[in-house]
Amino acid sequence: MLIGYARVSTDEQDTTAQTNALRALGVDADRIYVDQGLTGRNRNRPALTAALSACRKGDTFIVTKLDRLARSMPDARDIADELARGGVRLSVGGEIYDPTSPTGRLFFNVLAMMAEFESDLIRARTREGMAVAKAKGRLRGRAPKLTARQEAHALALLDGGEHTMSEVADIFGVSRGTLYRARDRRAARGDTTAEVVLPLPPEI
């Protein structure tokens, strides 16, 4: 039996080219497993797990390119070894990988190294692009959930002791974690003063 696997890294990408290629290699449509929006550096992918579980001794596991299977050399080797131990052949673009052949292992390792190298390049370019955008003021950090005045007001309510952490969080529409972090920041500044708080208006 032929088992096919396809993967794309983002939800916007299309797997049609991969699935068509797998069909051309003889894989039935209901035997093609697809992970969408998942990086190849993460081994824990639902469709990959299901595809590997579907394999039986004598089957052939097919990917169009090795980087669709894994983006790191250790993961690629581990998956290939797992298939080999189960008596399952691995086909990369129609070429059967032979783990017992020195040439086969060399070819496989070169493909895995290139997949990892390409992934590293993408990550490096992303970091560089973000650094350039930040330097030009185009990339901003996450906006604070509370303004400085709202934060001071929330902390003053907590200091007053009449409201619980959950109640204050509900009043300002934030999580308790936001208030804990605000209190920690104030403690780090050494600021123990509290804002004068006017009574809250009655609920209508």
Looking up residue 91, the CATH number of its domain turns out to be: 3.40.50.1390
Q: Which of the four pLDDT bands, split at 50, 70 and 90, describes residue 123? A: confident
Whether residue 184 is found in the same domain as residue 103: no
Instruction: Convert 163-188 to b/e letters by CB count within 10 Å (16 or more is b).
Output: bebeebbeebebeeebbeebbeebee
- Whether residue 61 sits in one domain with residue 14: yes
pLDDT digits (tens, 9 = 90+) for 150-168: 888 889 888 888 888 888 8
Residues 103 and 174 in one domain: no
In terms of pLDDT, which residue wins out, 93 or 176? 93
Which band of pLDDT confidence, cut at 50, 70 and 90, is reported for residue 138?
A: low
Q: Are residues 81 and 161 in the same domain?
A: no
Assess whether 9 carries a catalytic annotation. yes
User: Does any domain span residue 82?
Assistant: yes
- pLDDT of 129 strictly over 50: yes
Count of structural domains within the chain: 2
State what percent of residues in the chain have pLDDT above 90: 29
Q: What is the chain's mean pLDDT, rounded?
A: 83
Its domain, for residue 182, covers: 148-189
The answer to whether residues 6 and 99 belong to one domain is yes
Q: Average of pLDDT values for 29-39?
A: 91
Would you place residue 2 in the very low, low, confident or very high pLDDT band (cuts 50, 70, 90)? very high
- Does pLDDT of 140 surpass 70? no
* Whether residue 76 is found in the same domain as residue 166: no
Does position 185 have pLDDT exceeding 60, yes or no?
yes
In the predicted model, what is the mean pLDDT of residues 99-113? 80
Same domain, 164 and 82: no
Same domain, 30 and 115: yes
pLDDT confidence of residue 196: 46
Q: What pTM was computed for the model?
A: 0.58
Which pLDDT belongs to residue 186? Answer: 86
The answer to whether residues 114 and 33 belong to one domain is yes
139 occurs within a structural domain: no
Query: What pLDDT does residue 50 have?
Result: 94
157 plus 68 within the same structural domain = no
Q: Which of 9, 72, 91, 119 is an active site residue?
A: 9
Higher pLDDT, 68 or 194: 68
Whether residues 106 and 25 share a domain: the answer is: yes
